[in-house]
Amino acid sequence: MPVHIVQSKHNERLKQLRRALSMPGRDPRGLAGIEGPNLLHEALRAGLLIHCVFAADDARHLLDDFQLPPETEILLMPRTLLASALTTEAPQPIAALLQPPHWDWPLLLDTSRATPTLLVILAGLQDPGNLGTILRSAEAFAAHGVVCLPGTVSPWNPKAVRASAGSLFRLPLLTASADECFLRLRQAGIRVLTTAVHGAQFANLAHLHAPVAIIIGNEGNGVPSEIATLADSAITIPCPGPVESLNASVAASILLYEASCQRKARL
């Protein structure tokens, strides 16, 4: 593995890491940045291509814990210099640039699976922590993928990456326009359910064991009306307490759990 010592904040690789973390999805080479040894372990476990690893020179020993490919570039630098490129309040001594996984519609809509398709559609979700948590819950409850519609925060936002705890590296995820998304779902025979607070069917009474896509909307305004009208029907989570609505990631997790339970009962 090529090892380089970096002493300047103007180093091109360091600038690339800073850009990937601060403006996710805009790197000209399509690379994404991650922070911390745990996420690097998860990325390697998922088989992702790691282009470059950044390490604080006083934490070089941590690199011994990773089985990095021989072509991976290693950059060692003072801890303060590495911290200047990172986004966390307590910067980690390890970071990396990687090639995000490539997913496509045929994989998300594969009908040869043993269980009916279960997807999550994110419409205007803005909080990266919510997005990452939804990805983690989607993988935990065996969803087959997530689709981000326009207006949704980048899944490669550092906070979203951390909240996903590695699920982002493994769970099929696409970014698509509403027109393309709904056309694909219709062609595949997948029922689309929007989430709503009032005037909707209770989720436990809906047929979530069938091929279905569940729309989760914006934290403050819910699913945009122009998206909700495209759905086949609406579902809600019955709340016996006085709470008006639930956090987006909590609601998504409950619905995914309900879908998982219905599918298990069918087996």
206: DSSP letter: S
> CA–CA separation, 146 vs 173, rounded Å?
5
Closest CA relative to residue 118, chosen from 235, 230, 256: 256
Closest CA relative to residue 165, chosen from 39, 29, 70: 39
121 and 228 in a single domain? The answer is yes
121 and 198 in a single domain? The answer is yes
CATH code for the domain of 204? 3.40.1280.10
112 and 185 in a single domain? The answer is yes
110 and 155 in a single domain? The answer is yes
92 and 109 in a single domain? The answer is no
24 and 43 in a single domain? The answer is yes
pLDDT of res. 4: 87
Q: Which two tokens stand for residue 232?
A: 């086949």
Identify the domain boundary among 53, 84, 99.
99
pLDDT of res. 1: 65
119 strand-pairing partners: 145, 213
pTM beyond 0.75: yes
Strands 201-202 and 233-236: parallel
37: DSSP letter: H
Q: Which two tokens stand for residue 221?
A: 């305004």
Q: Which two tokens stand for residue 9?
A: 């904040």
> CA–CA separation, 134 vs 152, rounded Å?
13
> CA–CA separation, 104 vs 86, rounded Å?
30
Q: Which two tokens stand for residue 54?
A: 């950044």
pLDDT of res. 197: 84
pLDDT of res. 28: 78
Q: Which two tokens stand for residue 198?
A: 């009032």
140 and 259 in a single domain? The answer is yes
Closest CA relative to residue 214, chosen from 195, 240, 237: 195
Identify the domain boundary among 53, 80, 99.
99
* Residue keyed to tokens 């279905």: 212
- The one-letter code for the residue type at 170 is R
Domain count across the chain: 2
CATH code for the domain of 16? 3.30.1330.30
- In 23-127, alpha helices (H): 37-45, 79-83, 105-108
Instruction: Tell me how crowded residue 265 is: count the other CB atoms within 10 A of its CB.
Output: 8
72 and 137 in a single domain? The answer is no
Alpha carbon separation from 142 to 114, 118, 261, 264 (Å, rounded): 12, 8, 11, 11
Identify the domain boundary among 99, 117, 143.
99
49 and 117 in a single domain? The answer is no
H-helix or E-strand spanning residue 30: none
90 and 170 in a single domain? The answer is no
Per-residue pLDDT tens digits for 107-119:
999 988 989 999 9
> CA–CA separation, 190 vs 210, rounded Å?
8
Closest CA relative to residue 160, chosen from 141, 146, 179, 144: 146
User: Which residues span the domain enclosing 113?
Assistant: 105-266
253 and 135 in a single domain? The answer is yes
H-helix or E-strand spanning residue 60: none
Which residue stretches of the chain have pLDDT < 50? none
118 and 167 in a single domain? The answer is yes
172: DSSP letter: -
φ/ψ of residue 139, rounded to 5: -70, -40
Q: Which two tokens stand for residue 226?
A: 């122009």
pLDDT of res. 219: 85
